Structure 1
Amino acid sequence: MSPHALTLPARERDRLARLGLARWPEEACGLMLGCDGRVRRLVLCRNVAARRADRYLVHARDFLRWDRAAHRLGLDILGVWHTHPDGGARPSGTDREQAWRGWSYLIAAVDGRAITELRSWRLRGDHFIEETLCLKPA
């Protein structure tokens, strides 16, 4: 386990479930805004990947919009969340290629009805390590 932790409030976990299920069977993606490892808000971004069934790519304009909004609110972008439709919540090779050091990568496995697994990862060196995910009640 990583010494880092990501805290996710129940309302944001519920939002992730709604957004992810609404886009199933394609991957949904977005950014996590917050500070000190505490997510304040999950935001949806457009997935502009050519193969949305098993890839995500955050739209550049969405990234810039939310980066500016986070700064106005005194928050940071903590990382990226995305779904793995009908798969596990482990990072793929493509996830690794796109990852930025210092960010958290929250992955939700969805099966069309619910989130079946939720895990968070952080890049260390050239591989991911799982970080502690603290689910905070509402």
Structure 2
Amino acid sequence: MDQIYDHAQDCYPEECCGLMLGKILEPDAQLEKKLFELYPLDNAWEQAESSIRIEESGTPLTATRRYWIAPQDLFNAQKYARTQGWDIIGVYHSHPDHEAVPSECDRKWAWPQYSYVIVAVKNGVPHDFRNWILDDQQQFRAEPVTVVDDVVPSTLETDI
């Protein structure tokens, strides 16, 4: 959480974005994800297709209200994750001066099974962290997050 907060604060007033790498497990038919590493990215909104950079009202959108993950960045993240035996399990981004609630744009671009962490940043200070998942009706619902302490491998020094 601290890494995502730091990334969001560093990018303010623009949205930050990145990927979450880990494993998607299905113990007893209940979806479970384990996060092993964050993959911070640059917001490539200005490189996105011009057709998506304009609201339906004709108002141009900027990186302060949207994020875009460049296809090459996504490819590089997938390639890296595979070398570790991992998957992309989700996406995180910030909402500068807005709530940590998915927008309609977030919903339209979301993929099932991925977790979507959104961090609200008010006046440059991250203050709310929420995790979402797209359900079968294509609506976001809150997805619980459990934070555990780092696991230290058992060695002679740690066992004494």
Give your verdict on TM over 0.5.
yes
Q: Confirm or deny that 1:126 pairs with 2:138.
A: yes
The letter for the 1-side match of 2:143 is: E
CA–CA separation in structure 2 for the residues paired with 1:89 and 1:120: 9
- Following the alignment from structure 2 to structure 1, what is the Cα–Cα distance between the partners of residues 123 and 77? 27
User: 1:48·1:57 contact (CA, 8 Å) conserved in 2?
Assistant: yes
Give distance in 1, aligned partners of 2:123 and 2:85: 35
- Greater strand share, 1 or 2? 1
Q: TM-score, normalised by structure 2?
A: 0.74
The count of residues paired between Structure 1 and Structure 2 equals 126
AA aligned to 2:41 is C
Q: 1:68 aligns with which of 70, 79, 87?
A: 79
- 2:100 alignment partner AA: A
Q: CA RMSD in A?
A: 1.3
Shift in Å, 1:122: 0.6
- The equivalent of 1:93 in structure 2 is 104
- For structure 1, the residue ranges without an aligned partner over 5 or more in a row are 1-12
Q: CA deviation at 1:48?
A: 1.7
Alignment partner, residue 104 of structure 1? 115
Structure with bigger gyration radius = 2
CA contact (8 A) 1:28 1:82 kept: yes
Q: How far apart, CA to CA, are the structure 1 residues paired with 2:147 and 2:120?
A: 16
User: Which fold has the larger relative contact order, with Cα–Cα distance below 8 Å and residues 6 or more apart in sequence?
Assistant: 1
Using structure 1 for the length normalisation, give the TM-score.
0.86
Residue aligning to 1:16: 4
